[in-house]
Amino acid sequence: MTAKRIAMIGLLTLALGVPLLCEKSFADALPSYFADEWVGILCVTGPTPISSTRVSMIIQMNFDKTTNTGITLAKADQLFEFLRTSLLNFSGTTTQTCALKPSQVNTQFNVNGLQAAQQLTGTYQQYGFQLMLILDSFWTLTQTYLLQPSGTLSLRSDTFIVTGSNSVFYRNSSETVQSAIQ
């Protein structure tokens, strides 16, 4: 099994396991730092690791423009594609119903991560989606337990479950070593 596949299995198991009920009283407002992020949109229908019931889900993927040298728009497109194909390969019965790379969202809608989240969190169910997740990704220094040279970057992805209009619940984080993505 390749390093990319192992890294994505961990990320996707955590991200797709989120339809567990979460207490709305622990929800927070959308983070203001989403305003400085590229955004891509992925729509899928498929089962989750905890249930064979198929759900229709919209995933907003944010990519930080500034932290640890930031993620360029071209790199955001590449990372979006990596995450998209990993998700579809991870669950063979998941089907993609839409995909907009960050460059497409930027050109067509000219919105940042915060603006997109403000618009979608209150309306995604009206479009037929049962669940909305926000996957917020940024470069961070690799943790020592990943056994990488000092100064190596990894892509950290924080998963948020949307609990209502402008309201999210932080679920978990995962890291993928940069060399496994390229």
For the cut 70, the answer to whether the pLDDT of residue 49 exceeds it is: no
Query: How many domains does the chain divide into?
Result: 1
Structure confidence at residue 100 as a pLDDT band (50, 70, 90):
very high
Mean per-residue pLDDT for 155-168?
A: 92
Residue in 157, 44, 155, 39 with CA at minimum distance from that of residue 103: 39
Percent of the chain with pLDDT over 90: 53
Q: Which residue has the tokens 């990372």?
A: 79
> Who has greater pLDDT, 126 or 14?
126
Domain membership of residue 21 (yes or no) is no
Q: Which residues lie across from 181 on neighbouring strands? A: none
> Who has greater pLDDT, 88 or 24?
88
Q: Which residue has the tokens 């100064």?
A: 151
Domain range holding 11?
3-16+26-181
The pLDDT, as a whole number, for residue 15 is 46
pTM beyond 0.85: the answer is no
Which tens digit of pLDDT belongs to each residue from 119-140? 999 999 999 999 999 999 999 8
Q: Which residues lie across from 155 on neighbouring strands? A: 139, 176
